[in-house]
Amino acid sequence: MIDTVSTETGEGAERRVRLEVEDGIALLTLCRPDKLNGWSWESTRQLGLLADRIRFDPSVRAVLLRAEGRAFCAGIDVTAPGGAITGDSPAERTHNYYEGIRWVHERFAVLARLPQPVIAAVQGYCLGFGFELALMADIRIAADDAVFALPEAGLGVAVDAGGDLRIAREAGAGWAKFLALTGRRIDAATAERLNLVQLVVPPGLLEEASRELAAEIAANAPLAVQGIKRGIDAYADAALPAALDRVAMTAALTLTSEDSREGYRAKAARRPPHFRGA
């Protein structure tokens, strides 16, 4: 099962997400710039805990999700401890991955379903899990140097946090398949054209623009703002829970496959992968 009680997740765990509250705005900051804010099980745990704090803080009117350094999040941190999934048989290992991915979905839902609107400010690389995380925000602002991609299929694994589903919701099923099946990277201007980003600004203005938008929302009536968010989400996400369960099973099967091992080996060796469908 997931090693959620490793040394990484104890009292001495390295902080991966920082929370500050200023003038009615909760600032959630990915704070491992030396690792390009690479994501891990521990990042997910910390994000869920901080989102729970925000939910019950009456002073918070809006949330700004941002990142330190030159990348928003470059994807999974494969070097993070506590990431191994174990099992005495292939079936048990697949089951444990399935439960682990469902746990991730539950933690992310705490963020996505916050009563307060969430704004993501994206710069640099926004890849894999990073792209999926940004897509959980209600509104996205990108610096014009931002790069987005879902490279998972090239590694032999599923898009496991529902990013492809959210692209289908925002840009249509064709674009979701195009991006998820090819792994192609798109720039901020293309992301804006596809409705995946609502505003593009120069890198030097990202912080200012995202704070101004958060403050503009925070100044409005909280009951109205939260009701509007709930109503839109109820319409837009009507089919999401059942689809996410399928995602969790696909992720479990692919993460335990020989193809995923080959995909990561090939990436490390900088060679084309040789997938067998097994």
Distance, first Cα to last Cα, the chain = 22
Distance CA 136, CA 149 (A): 15
Could you say which of 8, 132, 208, 212 is catalytic? 132
Distance CA 45, CA 103 (A): 9
Name the 3-class secondary structure at 100: helix
Could you say which of 152, 207, 208, 216 is catalytic? 152
Reply yes or no on whether 132 is catalytic. Answer: yes
Name the 3-class secondary structure at 75: coil
CB 66 within 8 A of CB 33: no
Distances (CA, A) of 103 to 42, 98, 237: 12, 9, 19
Name the 3-class secondary structure at 138: coil
Distance CA 169, CA 172 (A): 6
DSSP structure string for 159-220:
-TTSHHHHHHHHH-HHHHHHHHHH---EEHHHHHHTTS-SEEE-GGGHHHHHHHHHHHHHTS
Reply yes or no on whether 170 is catalytic. Answer: no
Instruction: Return the active site residues.
Output: 132, 152
